[in-house]
Amino acid sequence: MNLDTAIKCGLEDELDHEYEKLLKRVSVIASPLADCRLTKRIGKFLKKCTPKISVGRDVKTVYRGSKAVTRCMKKNLKGVVILGGDTFPIDLISHIPVCCEDRQVPYCYVPSGIVNRWLT
């Protein structure tokens, strides 16, 4: 059973077991790392924030990728940054926490095997 199924069914034991398996792949610098409960809440939050259509044009609410996130921070857009904890090579996202701290933007790491499934 994967993490999405455990979230939908409300199976806390399966959720904890799947989360523990994902933690084995997380990088050393992934701090602060969201715990199991916060990861579940982030998943629900991301599902609600999928792009909506309003007045004939698309409203972008979720930006994916380090380039798009860096561009948003340069434009001083406010929000929350969620980083994948098992991104390899880590150099791809190592500059993002520094930018977030400079601009007082909250950020956290989650086991990244689940982030892309929430956004599709």
- Determine which helix (DSSP H) or strand (DSSP E) holds 81, and give its type and residue range: strand 81-84
The residues pairing with 84 across neighbouring beta strands, listed in sequence order, are 110
pLDDT in tens, 33-56: 888 888 888 888 887 776 654 455
Query: In the structure, what pLDDT confidence band is assigned to residue 96 with cuts at 50, 70 and 90?
Result: very high
3-state helix, strand, coil in the chain (%, to 5): 45, 10, 40
Question: Average pLDDT of the chain?
Answer: 78
Query: In the structure, what pLDDT confidence band is assigned to residue 101 with cuts at 50, 70 and 90?
Result: very high
This prediction has a pTM of 0.74
Query: In 3D, which of 20, 33, 28 has the Cα closest to residue 107?
Result: 33
Q: Which domains does the chain have, with CATH numbers?
A: 3-119 (3.30.1330.30)
What does DSSP say about strands 52-54 and 57-59: parallel, antiparallel, or unpaired?
antiparallel
Which tokens is 76 given? 């001083």
- Res 100: pLDDT: 93
Q: Of 80 and 113, which is predicted with more confidence?
A: 80
Tokens 């933007």 belong to 105
State yes or no: pLDDT of 115 exceeds 90: no
Q: What CA–CA distance (Å, rounded) separates 17 from 21? A: 6
Question: Between helices 12-23 and 36-48, what is the axis angle to 10°?
Answer: 100
pLDDT in tens, 64-92: 888 989 999 999 888 899 988 888 888 88
Q: Of 5 and 72, which is predicted with more confidence?
A: 72
